[in-house]
């Protein structure tokens, strides 16, 4: 059995006296599309930052392709990041660059390829997301779904071994949402890569991922295949996938007595 492409082992991370992740272990194998779900503030995006080496775990280990990310110096860290692709929430396109130049950017920055080869690669990546005909447009001329697809083409420009998606479905209409979901799956399979998706979209994710991890309270509180998640009787998972207000994940953040805060309490 091959070793996992990504492996987190009992990872803890926080800021000052506030822990974000307290004990997180998970694995992602090559070829897998894995979703990370949980309430707002549960540490999902922090997990992506740990994998990308933007922050380092206070304890535990974060392994990517056999390397301990927390132990890498600047040069090896840069080389490791060349193997990663990232789709940011809302795309994060360079607003003053055309669609073509947005996708060409990582190729120009990280390779010494001649411009003729870069042109062919850019058009190939845009063809893969259905937007070769939009290569001359500027970002302000794109719809939200089109912008997300251009950002996806840019993210796969260097054929990464690992793709990370931070809320890729946010703000999309149903057609664009379904299109992005299908592209994520198809591109992952075509590249022979692995993908990690941070998302709140239960329906779309369960239709296209291989495995799901649920985060809450800094820990993995549930995991399984889509079929296992749908059949789960675990209270947190049931609350999350059914959108229930009452359950282990509270609607109200802990606070002092409401009447006391309003000055209505009596002795």
As for how many domains the chain has, the answer is 1
Work out the number of other CB atoms within 10 angstroms of the CB of residue 49: 16
For residue 220, give the 3-state DSSP assignment: strand
Q: Indicate which CATH number applies to the domain containing 191.
A: 3.40.50.300
- Give 37-53 pLDDT, tens digit per residue: 887 777 888 999 999 98
User: Does residue 173 lie within any of the structural domains?
Assistant: yes
Which domain does 29 fall in, by range? 1-83+160-227
User: Does residue 148 lie within any of the structural domains?
Assistant: no
Are 118 and 55 in contact, with CB atoms under 8 Å apart? Answer: no
> Quick one: pLDDT at residue 89?
74
User: Does residue 236 lie within any of the structural domains?
Assistant: no
**pTM, whole model, 2 decimals?**
0.83
Look at 71-75, 111-115, 119-123, 233-237 and tell me which has the smallest mean pLDDT.
233-237
Are 131 and 99 in contact, with CB atoms under 8 Å apart? Answer: yes
pLDDT band at residue 1 under the 50/70/90 scheme: very low
User: Does residue 244 lie within any of the structural domains?
Assistant: no
Q: Is the pLDDT of residue 258 over 60?
A: yes
Are 205 and 197 in contact, with CB atoms under 8 Å apart? Answer: yes
Average pLDDT over residues 76-84: 88
pLDDT band at residue 18 under the 50/70/90 scheme: confident
User: Does residue 2 lie within any of the structural domains?
Assistant: yes
Smallest Cα–Cα separation from 177: which of 148, 212, 142? 148
User: Does residue 136 lie within any of the structural domains?
Assistant: no
For residue 68, give the 3-state DSSP assignment: strand
> Quick one: pLDDT at residue 19?
84
User: Does residue 119 lie within any of the structural domains?
Assistant: no
How far apart are the C-alpha atoms of 185 and 168, rounded to whole Å? Answer: 13
């Amino acid at each position: 059995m091959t070793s996992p492409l990504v492996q987190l082992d009992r990872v803890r991370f926080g800021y000052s006296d506030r822990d974000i992740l307290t004990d997180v272990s998970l694995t992602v194998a090559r070829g897998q599309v894995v979703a990370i779900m949980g309430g707002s503030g549960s540490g999902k995006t922090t997990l992506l930052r740990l994998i990308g080496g933007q922050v380092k775990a206070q304890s535990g280990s974060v392994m990517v392709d056999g390397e301990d990310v927390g132990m890498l110096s600047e040069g090896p860290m840069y080389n490791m990041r060349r193997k990663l692709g990232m789709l940011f929430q809302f795309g994060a396109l360079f607003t003053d660059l055309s669609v073509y130049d947005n996708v060409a950017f990582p190729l120009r920055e990280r390779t010494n390829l001649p411009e003729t080869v870069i042109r062919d690669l850019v058009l190939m990546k845009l063809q893969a997301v259905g937007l070769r005909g939009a290569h001359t447009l500027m970002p302000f001329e794109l719809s939200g779904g089109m912008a997300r697809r251009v950002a996806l083409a840019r993210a796969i420009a260097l054929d990464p071994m690992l793709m990370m998606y931070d809320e890729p479905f946010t703000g999309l209409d149903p057609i664009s949402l379904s299109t992005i979901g299908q592209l994520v799956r198809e591109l992952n399979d075509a590249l022979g890569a692995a993908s990690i998706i941070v998302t709140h979209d239960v329906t779309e994710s369960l239709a296209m991922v291989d495995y799901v991890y649920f985060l809450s309270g800094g820990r993995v509180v549930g995991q399984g295949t889509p079929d296992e998640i749908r059949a789960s009787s675990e209270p947190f998972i049931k609350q999350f996938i059914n959108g229930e207000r009452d359950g282990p994940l509270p609607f109200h953040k802990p606070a002092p007595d409401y009447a006391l805060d309003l000055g209505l309490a009596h002795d």
